Structure 1
Amino acid sequence: MTSEFSAAPLRSPSGSAAQEGLAPMPLLLIGVVFAIAIGLRQVVPLNTDVSWLIVVCERMLDGQRLYRDIIEINPPMAAFAYLPGVALARVLGVDPRHVIDAQLLLLAAASLFAVSRILRLSPATAPLKSGALAVWAAAVVTILPMHVFAQREHIAMLTFLPALAVYALRSDREPLPPWAILIAGAGAGITLAFKPFFTVPAALCILFAAIRSRSWRVLFAPENIIAAALVITVSVSTYIFYPEYFTVTYPLVRDTYLSWSMPASVIFLNDATLAFAIAMVSVLLARQKRTPDSLLLVTALASIGFAVSFFLQRRGWAYHSYPMVAVALLAMGYALTGAANTAPRSRRLEIASAFMLAVTFVVGMLWFNVTVYVGPVRQAVEGLMPHARILVLSGEAAIGHPLVRDINGVWVSRQENLWIREFVRLTRERTFVDAATDAKLNDYLALERKWLIEDFKRLPPDLVLVDNLRNDWGAWARADAEVSQLLKPYTLVRSVDGIDILRRNE
């Protein structure tokens, strides 16, 4: 008698078609996809948040303490995801961005390989040796991200993919080997450790597996226990080693960042929602005459779960939507490439499917390649001073990052940008603020001002960029006696699209 959680029996590599690998041509095309992805990393600018988190990791390696010397809005997992790559780059003496890019491409390859190996464990998913789907999946996880490449959502989606394959097999009551359970559990745990919002897709998939397998015990499958244990370990470790996250950072985030929402039109009416809708409709139309299999249902449910998490974050930002769009496109590719169909398909259907896939992919690429335009600031700053220490007075993070890394400068502030003042402004504009809340917000503004002055005195910047286009930071600096005094030794070099560039006098 065997348990539904028992390990899969060993199979001979040559015993069935399910164990066969991809043909040489799909493997070659996958290589081309990765080559294109590598090329894009040379021309697509480094993501703003990724650039900042590299700075965070460098400072941590220098002995600075997260949430005390470095103020980061996210839990520690955001920094620790990049720390190994930054540490390795320091050992090799290379730019960390190249190591991070390589790390993500290797993770993408490993994730897809793990999914492939897991799905081959079941005869029901054996046809997934389909070359077209493999090439499509490779493009979705490496080329589609564009400017959000290496964002936390990109990493979280990649670590979650093996769990999707396990959930599909678990729903069909298929036995799984320990290595598959371990990879799925660890991957799901890492994903959930990034953001609590990612609990939604995981919960939907686990519930589906329990319902379809007709066993409540699936809720407590080993991979779920591993994921839960990992999340608990990360949470407890954060409380023990980084108490300032709970005492300083989270109250700030709760009372400012989490207190307001972007307009509904921004959250729901965007290209991410369009790509998601096209993908889901395509799946329904492609499979309307067939009973959907477990893999398709799990993938579609995961995409819906990531959509819920995207909408719950209430920002409508491109990088928040990547898991939703990427997993939806994977489901779309599975349905339209004929990966699970043994019956021959008409030429007309193949052309229509390829067209829909291409259109949706392009919509996604354009959406994920949107950047904040800050003008030719880099060209204006580059060459003014080698290895310049830079401070930016602005609530817009894209002004300073990746600028400071592009010019091989030094970031002065303990923050990515002066986000507290920006979030306080939005909180006051978009929510009702009573007297007690208003006083608390003023305390937060005073704290950020204190940090700014301390950072300015600790490491006087060579260049100060003052953003007069967004919220008139120049007027704010002039109105503050101490900040104005700190800026007296600086001379205006030039203004670029509303951004004043000040250089410290020799």
Structure 2
Amino acid sequence: MTVDVDAVARPAPAYPADRERRGPIPWLLVALVFAAAIVMRQLVPLNTDVSWLLVVAERMLDGQRLYRDMIETNPPMAAFAYLPAAWLARIFGVAPRHVVDAQLLLLAAASLFAVWRMLRLSPTLGRTKSDLLIVWAVAVLTVLPMHVFGQREHMATLAFLPALAAYALRSNREPLPLWAILIAGAGAGITLAFKPYFAVPTALCIISAAIRSRSWRVLFAPENIIAGALVSAASLGTYACYPEYFTIMYPLARDTYLSWSMPASAVLLNSATLIFAVAMALMALSQRKLDGLLLAAIMASIGFAISFVLQRRGWPYHSYPMVALAMLVMGYALLDETGPGARPHRVGTAAALILAATFWLGSRWFDTRIYVGPIEQAVAGLKLHPRLLVLSGEAAIGHPLVHDLGGTWVSRQQSLLIREWVELTRERSSVDAATDARLNDYLALERKWLIEDFKKLPPDIVLIDDLRDGWGDWARADAELSQLLKPYSSVGSVEGIEILRRTE
């Protein structure tokens, strides 16, 4: 079945013979890149947020309730995305991180295969003869992410790629079969469900496709309707099943996390924005004609750049969709051999150096981690599969430590982030009396949660962060917390983090 928004019947395009066959070399190179990605997953630690969301998913499987037993400021999609990995890990008795890695690599392969199949429907968009472009795309999606591998932005990028191919076909006024419509619509809907900021690239791609095709009907293409329906269902489902997200979590995030931003220099002047600027400049200098696919990729990269700036943090994982799409655009400009002005011989030295330099820069950017010292080595011998609690606003201390130790996370929070956010809010924004009162209420709520969790499941090991914001002094100044810590004795300190072990 083929659906065309302009209701014009067209015969399916024939596939030229030169597009049917590829030698074994490109597939060998693709296999080598996937092998390199698998090796990197063993060398690069599990991402902090991924580790925490796996904890959330595991607790949900145990029957605990999101936004009550686990406090997460993101919409439910953030937790539901990791439920399959947590469930499969239990079924097969393996570490959840390995299931996440396998799922993301399979998703990358499936996404690229779907894009390839969809572009083959076009007599123009499927013409590329560059094997290196395929290898480049696989590397950007599997190796480049480094420490942000498995983050929601990584998932969203992979899910969004088939929608880009659909927008490219729509901009050419070419029909899409039903399977392509369903995949593109589902991918765009999943992307939008992760973060509202991702509506920007989606809207830019749809509008540019409508303008290029000179048909307003593209705005209401079936895949767009599917994506909108999925997002609406997710929103209504959140309202119906998780009202606490709107009554507790969003007001808390609005008054704390969303009330401040990082300095403009941190958001606008970094490796991610440099790579984006280089890619757009190379695209302009190449004087390549904008076909539907290239236009969609550029619009998506620009849209994700806008969403990156709107989030006002400048954190590497926020920038991954922008950088990945920009690097795919760069690869298209330098490696594709079929566009106007492209040279059908081997890639020049300058192009190879540019691609290698940007890939290295991106890999370093996405491998940024917070060093917390050799905590695992210090804690590993104290208790087998310990119940762990961390008194700190730094999430990287406890995650992925709790998974590496095979332990149990005691707190309902990733870390004591509310205290951290309140301090930043008071430092970086003007706070009136009413807002200040709300901030104090949030601090009291976080303390209440901490004490409840401590009493409900007393930890075997407590880590107190004395390096950042004086958490030890804060705990000792609180009579109830001080009482709860009496059964614990100090066994040492690592990089300013005191290690307490339960002695009773």
TM-score (ref. length: structure 1): 0.97
Q: 1:50-449, aligned counterparts within 5 Å?
A: 50-286=50-286, 288=287, 290-341=288-339, 345=343, 350-449=348-447
2:2 corresponds to 1:4: no
Shift of 1:176: 1.1
Shift of 1:354: 1.2
Shift of 1:342: 7.2
- 1:23 aligned residue: 23
Shift of 1:124: 1.1
- AA paired with 1:4? D
Q: Which whole-Å CA distance do the structure 1 matches of 2:315 and 2:273 have between them?
A: 11
Shift of 1:88: 1.0
Q: Which whole-Å CA distance do the structure 2 matches of 1:169 and 1:433 have between them?
A: 50
Segments of structure 2 that go 5 or more residues without pairing to the other structure are none
Shift of 1:21: 4.6
Q: 1:456 to 1:137 in 2, by over 3 A?
A: same
Kindly provide the CA deviation profile for residues 146-174 of structure 1, in whole angstroms up to 9, marking residues without a partner as x.
Answer: 00000000000000000111101101101
Q: Which whole-Å CA distance do the structure 1 matches of 2:30 and 2:435 have between them?
A: 54
Q: Which whole-Å CA distance do the structure 2 matches of 1:269 and 1:98 have between them?
A: 34
Moved more, 455-464 or 336-345: 336-345
May I ask how many residue pairs the two structures share in their alignment? 502
- AA paired with 1:87? W
Kindly provide the CA deviation profile for residues 190-244 of structure 1, in whole angstroms up to 9, marking residues without a partner as x.
Answer: 0000000000000000000111111111110111000000000000001101111
Q: 1:269 to 1:240 in 2, by over 3 A?
A: same
Shift of 1:83: 0.4
Q: 1:21 to 1:178 in 2, by over 3 A?
A: farther
Moved more, 135-144 or 270-279: 270-279
Q: For the aligned residues, what is the CA RMSD?
A: 1.6
Q: Which whole-Å CA distance do the structure 1 matches of 2:345 and 2:122 have between them?
A: 29
- AA paired with 1:171? S
Q: 1:456 aligns with which of 450, 454, 459?
A: 454
Q: Which whole-Å CA distance do the structure 2 matches of 1:132 and 1:470 have between them?
A: 47
Shift of 1:285: 1.3
Shift of 1:356: 0.7
Q: Which whole-Å CA distance do the structure 2 matches of 1:107 and 1:335 have between them?
A: 25
Q: Which whole-Å CA distance do the structure 2 matches of 1:359 and 1:194 have between them?
A: 31
Q: Which whole-Å CA distance do the structure 1 matches of 2:482 and 2:9 have between them?
A: 68
**Is the contact between residue 22 and residue 129 of structure 1 (CA under 8 Å) also seen in structure 2?**
no
**Is the contact between residue 394 and residue 418 of structure 1 (CA under 8 Å) also seen in structure 2?**
yes
TM-score (ref. length: structure 2): 0.97
Q: 1:21 to 1:311 in 2, by over 3 A?
A: farther
Segments of structure 1 that go 5 or more residues without pairing to the other structure are none
Kindly provide the CA deviation profile for residues 402-444 of structure 1, in whole angstroms up to 9, marking residues without a partner as x.
Answer: 0011111110000000010000000000000000000000000
- AA paired with 1:378? E
Kindly provide the CA deviation profile for residues 48-92 of structure 1, in whole angstroms up to 9, marking residues without a partner as x.
Answer: 000001100110000000001111111100011110111111111
Q: 1:128 to 1:452 in 2, by over 3 A?
A: same
Shift of 1:16: 1.7
Q: Which whole-Å CA distance do the structure 1 matches of 2:421 and 2:164 have between them?
A: 36
**Is the contact between residue 388 and residue 462 of structure 1 (CA under 8 Å) also seen in structure 2?**
yes
Kindly provide the CA deviation profile for residues 100-155 of structure 1, in whole angstroms up to 9, marking residues without a partner as x.
Answer: 10000000000000000111111111223531110000000000000000000000
Kindly provide the CA deviation profile for residues 18-64 of structure 1, in whole angstroms up to 9, marking residues without a partner as x.
Answer: 75153311111000000000000111000000000110011000000
Give the 4+ runs in structure 1 shifted more than 4 A: 5-8, 346-349
Q: Which whole-Å CA distance do the structure 2 matches of 1:344 and 1:272 have between them?
A: 27
**Is the contact between residue 289 and residue 339 of structure 2 (CA under 8 Å) also seen in structure 1?**
no
Q: Which whole-Å CA distance do the structure 2 matches of 1:332 and 1:441 have between them?
A: 46
Shift of 1:184: 0.6
Identical pairs, percent: 69
Q: 1:187 to 1:7 in 2, by over 3 A?
A: farther
**Secondary structure class of the residue paired with 2:499:** strand
Q: Which whole-Å CA distance do the structure 2 matches of 1:349 and 1:102 have between them?
A: 32
